[in-house]
Amino acid sequence: MVPLLMILILYGKFSWAFGLFLLAGITDMLDGYLARRLDQCTLFGLYLDPAADKVLTVSSYLVLGFSGHVPAWLSVIVVFKEVFMILGATIIFVCGWEMKVEPSRWGKQTTFFQLFAVALALLAAAMEWTVPWIVWLFGVTGLLTVFCGSHYIWSRLRSLPADAVVRVDSGSATLPTGNK
């Protein structure tokens, strides 16, 4: 659905984009609910679901920022936070360190605000509404995104094994080998 959503936004079909965005959200929630309810959670799904959420979020902010329906600064913050999270997870995985895939409370709240801001921006564009308080929503979303990204980095750094630290002795560095 993401490529079609991007095309609809870029061509100014905001009513259709809003409907498709809602459909993507509803199917994502339904998928998660059914997976838990029917005890069908898999390792593949554990990684794929957040990845799909990130693709939807990043794509939405890129095209809405490009089209001027979301402030460019917010798009940059959201995209870079996701890029840093993916980069951090990749480094942890490549080094063979243990990676916890549990979403944090802050991550869930930030995702809610990010997606609510996208939905409201799409709805406002579709209905040609002026929503004066949306700037406050964008501000809160930006602050939460920065906080959540910082919290993620801090918690991941604290959870790294002791041998993950680069040791510098008299001008030469020894890189860690990982815990495989």
CA 111/CA 109 separation, integer angstroms: 5
Contacts of 129 (CB under 8 A, 6+ apart): 123
For 4, 27, 51, 60, 65, the CA distances from 21, given in Å and listed in that order, are: 10, 10, 16, 9, 16
With a cut of 90, say whether residue 170 has pLDDT above it.
no
Residues 67-87, mean pLDDT to the nearest whole number = 94
Q: pLDDT (tens digit, 9 = 90+) per residue, 125-147?
A: 999 999 999 999 999 999 999 99
With a cut of 50, say whether residue 80 has pLDDT above it.
yes
- pLDDT value of position 49: 84
For the entire predicted model, the pTM comes to 0.82
Domains of the chain: 2-162 (1.20.120.1760)
**What is the phi/psi pair of residue 153, to 5°?**
-60, -45
State the chain's mean pLDDT as an integer.
86
For 139, 160, 172, 176, 179, the CA distances from 96, given in Å and listed in that order, are: 37, 11, 24, 11, 6
Indicate the DSSP class of residue 125: H
What percentage of the chain exceeds 90 in pLDDT?
54
